[in-house]
Amino acid sequence: MAMKHAASSALRSLLSPSSTFARNLHAPAGKKKIVGVFYKGNEYAKLNPNFVGCVEGALGIREWLESLGHQYIVTDDKEGPNSELEKHIPDAHVIISTPFHPAYVTAERIKKAKNLELLLTAGIGSDHVDLKAAAAAGLTVAEITGSNVVSVAEDELLRILVLVRNFLPGYHQAVNGEWNVAGIAHRAYDLEGKTIGTVGAGRIGKLLLQRLKPFNCNLLYYDRLRMNPEVEKEIGAKFEEELDAMLPKCDVIVINMPLTEQTRGLFDKNRIAKCKKGVVIVNNARGAIMDTQAIADACSSGHVAGYGGDVWPIQPAPKDHPWRYMPNHAMTPHISGTTIDAQLRYAAGVKDMLDRHFRGEAFPEQNYIVKEGQLASQYR
Amino acid sequence: MAMKHAASSALRSLLSPSSTFARNLHAPAGKKKIVGVFYKGNEYAKLNPNFVGCVEGALGIREWLESLGHQYIVTDDKEGPNSELEKHIPDAHVIISTPFHPAYVTAERIKKAKNLELLLTAGIGSDHVDLKAAAAAGLTVAEITGSNVVSVAEDELLRILVLVRNFLPGYHQAVNGEWNVAGIAHRAYDLEGKTIGTVGAGRIGKLLLQRLKPFNCNLLYYDRLRMNPEVEKEIGAKFEEELDAMLPKCDVIVINMPLTEQTRGLFDKNRIAKCKKGVVIVNNARGAIMDTQAIADACSSGHVAGYGGDVWPIQPAPKDHPWRYMPNHAMTPHISGTTIDAQLRYAAGVKDMLDRHFRGEAFPEQNYIVKEGQLASQYR
The residue type found at B332 is: T
Most A CBs within 10 Å, among B332, B334, B338, to test the A interface: B332
Is some CB atom of chain B closer than 8 A to the CB atom of A174? Answer: yes
* Pairwise CB contact (< 8 Å): A310 & B170: yes
Q: What is the side-by-side strand order in the sheet with B329-331?
A: B237-240, B218-222, B195-199, B252-255, B279-283, B304-309, B329-331
Could you tell me the pLDDT band of residue A379, with boundaries at 50, 70 and 90? confident
Predicted confidence at residue B275, as pLDDT, reads 98
Q: Per-residue pLDDT averaged across A60-64, rounded? A: 98
Query: A329 in contact with B at a CB cutoff of 8 Å?
Result: yes
Whether the CB-CB separation of A215 and B219 falls below 8 Å is answered with no
Cα A22 to Cα A1, A260, A353, A377: the distances in Å are 12, 24, 18, 19
The closest CB to that of A319, out of B51, B177, B211, belongs to: B177
pLDDT score of A15: 39
Q: For residue range B119-133, what is the model confidence (pLDDT) as tens digits?
A: 999 999 999 999 999
Q: d(Cα B62, Cα B59) in Å, to the nearest integer? A: 8
Quick check: B63 pLDDT over 60? Answer: yes
Q: Which residues of B are less than 8 Å from A320 in CB distance?
A: 177
The DSSP line for B214-272 is: GG--EEEEE-SSPPPHHHHHHHTEEEES-HHHHGGG-SEEEE-----TTTTT-B-HHHH
The full length of chain B comes to: 380
* DSSP symbol at A17: S
Give the pLDDT mean for A354-377: 95
Residues of A with catalytic function: 148, 286, 315, 334
Instruction: Give yes or no for residue A17 having a pLDDT over 80.
Output: no
- Tell if the CB–CB gap between A181 and B334 is shorter than 8 Å: yes
Q: Which residues contact B66 (CB under 8 A, 6 or more apart)?
A: B72
Q: Is B301 on the interface with A (CB under 8 A)?
A: no
Q: Which of A177, A315, A332 is nearest residue B184 as measured by Cβ atoms?
A: A332
- Cα dihedral: A17, A19, A23, A26 (round 10): 30
Measured between beta carbons, the chain A residues lying within 8 angstroms of B42 are 180, 182
Query: What are the distances in angstroms from CA B180 to CA A95, A253, A318, B172, B176?
Result: 22, 28, 12, 11, 11
pLDDT of residue B29: 65
Average pLDDT taken over every residue of chain A: 93
Q: Is B198 on the interface with A (CB under 8 A)?
A: no
Give the three-class secondary structure for A101.
Answer: coil
Yes or no, beta carbons of B45 and A186 under 8 Å apart: yes
Best residue of A51, A319, A332 to probe chain B, by most B CBs closer than 10 Å: A332
Please tell me the predicted confidence (pLDDT) of residue B30: 84
CB contact under 8 A, A192 and B154: yes
So what's the pLDDT on residue A378?
A: 81
| Residue B79 pLDDT | 94
Contact B333, B360 (CB under 8 A): no
pLDDT of residue A29: 65
Query: Would you say A205 and A254 are in contact if contact means Cβ atoms under 8 Å apart?
Result: yes
Instruction: Give me the active site residues of B, please.
Output: 148, 286, 315, 334
The span from the CA of A368 to the CA of B350, in Å, is 60
- Interchain contact, A48 vs B334, CB within 8 Å: no
Q: Is B366 exposed, middle or buried (0-12, 13-18, 19+ CB in 10 A)?
A: exposed
From CA A327, how far away is CA A317, in angstroms rounded?
Answer: 17
Average pLDDT on A276-298 reads 98
Contacts of A47 in chain B (CB under 8 A): 186-187
**Torsion over CA: A191, A193, A195, A201 (sign):** positive
Tell me the C-alpha distance between A112 and A77, whole Å: 18
Q: Show residues of chain B in contact with A319, CB under 8 Å.
A: 177
- Residue range B256-262: mean pLDDT, rounded: 94
- The pLDDT tens digits of the residues spanning B152-187 come to 999 999 999 999 999 999 999 999 999 999 999 999
The interface predicted TM-score (ipTM) is 0.91
Q: Is B372 left (phi over 0), alpha (psi -120 to 50) or beta?
A: left
- Asked if the model's pLDDT at residue B17 lies above 80, the reply is no
A272 assigned binding-site residue: no
Asked if B335 and B159 touch (Cβ cutoff 8 Å), the reply is: no
Q: Which residues of B are annotated as a binding site for substrate?
A: 124, 148
Model confidence over B326-367: pLDDT tens digits? 999 999 999 999 999 999 999 999 999 999 999 999 999 999
C-alpha distances (whole Å) from A30 to each of A5, A139, B183 are: 9, 18, 38
Range B43-51 contact pairs with CB under 8 angstroms and sequence separation of 24 or more: B44/A182, B44/A183, B44/A185, B44/A186, B45/A182, B45/A186, B47/A186, B47/A187, B48/A186, B48/A187, B48/B340, B50/B340, B50/B343, B50/B344, B51/A182, B51/A185, B51/A186, B51/B340, B51/B343
- Test B40 with A161 for CB contact under 8 angstroms: no
Q: Tell me how crowded residue A79 is: count the other CB atoms within 10 A of its CB.
A: 12
Helix axes B167-175, B149-164, angle to 10 degrees: 70
Can you give the pTM of this predicted structure?
0.91
Tell me whether residue A203 is annotated as binding. yes
Q: Which of A247, A248, A227 is nearest to A238 (CA)?
A: A227
Neighbours of A289 (CB within 10 A): 23
Find the closest chain A residue to B156 by CA distance.
Answer: A161
Q: With beta carbons less than 8 A apart as the criterion, state whether B248 and B277 touch.
A: no
CA distance B252 to A76: 34
Question: Is it the case that residue A255 has pLDDT exceeding 60?
Answer: yes
